[in-house]
Amino acid sequence: MKSPVTWISIAGAVAIFYAIILNLTTGATAGVRQSLALESIVAAVIAVACGAFMVSRGGRWKFFAIALIGPGLFVLADSGMRLVLLLTHR
């Protein structure tokens, strides 16, 4: 059986991939764009949390954690600003 850190790293990798795809996708209506921004923020928070856990474990996982945290923070900033603009534009 794999260690818990391995499963958390897999979950973080899937979450950051999903967050980046949702962040790059454009929606046809304002409601769809708002939904995509919210889903992207949730996936990025999961990826950053997985990365923070792996940093706390130390060792070889620190480098993979940096690879999760960096894009996760970018997606959080970008989708967060997009969500603020969508909510204030109505």
pLDDT at 36 over 80: yes
pLDDT bucket at 1, cuts 50 / 70 / 90: low
pTM of the model: 0.88
Query: In this predicted model, what pLDDT tens digit does every residue of 38-85 receive, in sequence order?
Result: 999 999 999 999 999 988 887 788 888 888 899 999 999 999 999 898
Q: What is the mean pLDDT of residues 25-37?
A: 86
CA dihedral 1, 51, 27, 85 (to 10 degrees): 160
Q: What angle do CA 56, 52, 85 make, to 5 degrees?
A: 165
Let me know: does 5 contact 54? Beta carbons within 8 Å: yes
Give 90's pLDDT tier (boundaries 50, 70, 90): low
